[in-house]
Amino acid sequence: MIHGVSFPAYRSETHTFGDRPWAVTARVPFGTLAPSWLRWKQQLRQRVATALCSLGIRPLALVLRAWHPAGPELIRAAIKVRADLYVAHYPPALPAAALAARRFGTSYAFDGEDFHLGDFPESSAYDRHRRLLRMIESRWLPGCAFITAASSGIARAYAATYALTPPSVVRNMFPLNQAPPGPTVTGSVQPGPTLYWFSQTIGPDRGLECSVRALAQAHCRPHLHLRGFISSSYRDELLTLARQLGVEQRLHLHEPAPPDQMERLASAYDVGLVAETGLTLNHRIALANKLFSYALAGIPCLLSDIPAHHAVMAEAGYAAQLFNHADPASLAAALDAWLASPPAVLAGARAAAYRLGQETWNWELEQTKLLERVATVFSRHPCNHESRPT
């Protein structure tokens, strides 16, 4: 059995993956998801632990309490579930996976969706956070049966920082059944042409201000569509900028939608946008999930010129273009190359994107890398399903 120890709180539900059932076995509330008495307890515990760590008192138990308010609750939840393999997806889950595996004599692994040490701005103000995280990761990463990373840059960063065998790169791709039935020569959303971006949150430091400025400079007069949660203050800021540039009527904001609809929704637009600014190290080396959603949806992508995007251009081919993330004119020129050219140009880029999603950038192919690592663990330590409940 694979038991994935993941940190955000989930409802207890039973699901299926293919013909195999799986369930969320415990809910670990914290922050606004926790009742007030528990939230108060967690916050007080974290503050006390943080204060003691700042004085140089740093046993691992104290570090765990300082790092996240619900660290102890997550460990208690994990060690109640017996499994052959525990997979942690975030640093707070790593100790929980390791301690549960030690209790039952099994194995644990880590999935580096981000290089979390690089999440922080490169400033001495974040030295304490980096120090705590290093203590957690350096203690438990070396004991992992395997480590996966969501980009080659993240894999290299973990290997170099902790002197590890380079993690296997398993990127966050999506299943073929979420793709449209075939490529189309253009998007269907009108008026056009259209540029599309989505994320959980529409906010600053995502390259959106540059994108709005590019609307005013592109000869093709594109419409920019943004999907996600947006605060009222940032909405006002973005609309004010669009109004000053005379493009307010070409900026469209949409409500979030379920994750399994992202490819269907994206396919209705002409071109996708990934405009990361590379503000932190992690943002320079990580690959946004939307990149793979666009390919599966059959729409070509405009990529900001961060190192992670340079690294995938050889794979992307005609399905992607790079632009200077700090230069609206560069983005405008890239837009015009597809949207102000003869229709066959955009149609060819969309066909290339769809082909990329069908033949390379999909979960059916990408998952084999993960399954091979899991199979290797189980071949070394065969599961004893007669004595070990699943």
Task: Name all domains of the chain by residue range, CATH numbers in brackets.
Answer: 2-172+365-380 (3.40.50), 176-361 (3.40.50.2000)
Rounded distance, CA 331 to CA 38, Å? Answer: 48
Distance between CA atoms of 53 and 355, rounded to whole angstroms? 52
Which contacts (CB < 8 Å, 24+ apart) does range 238-244 have? 238/202, 238/208, 238/209, 238/212, 241/209, 241/212, 241/213, 242/212, 242/215
Q: Under a CB-based contact definition with an 8 Å cutoff, are residues 171 and 148 in contact?
A: no
Write the secondary structure of 49-97 as one string of H (helix), E (strand) and C (coil). Answer: HHHHHHCCCCCHHHHHHHHCCCHHHHHHHHCCCCCCEEEECCCCHHHHH
386's tokens? 């007669």
Please tell me the pTM assigned to this model.
0.89
Q: Is 20 helix (H, G, I), strand (E, B) or coil?
A: strand
Residue 385 pLDDT more than 60?
Answer: no
What would the mean pLDDT of 86-97 be, rounded to a whole number?
A: 93
Asked whether the predicted pLDDT for residue 7 surpasses 70, the reply is no
Residues 343-365, mean pLDDT to the nearest whole number: 97
pLDDT recorded at residue 137: 95
40-83: pLDDT as tens digits: 998 998 899 889 888 888 888 888 888 888 889 999 999 999 99
Predicted confidence band of residue 24 (pLDDT cuts 50, 70, 90): confident
Quote the CA–CA distance of 286 and 308 in Å, as a whole number: 6
- The per-residue pLDDT for 126 is 86
Per residue in 311-322, pLDDT (tens digit) is 999 999 999 999
Average pLDDT over residues 350-369: 97
Least confident span in 15-24, 172-181, 182-191, 367-376: 15-24
The pLDDT confidence band at residue 224, using thresholds 50, 70 and 90, is very high
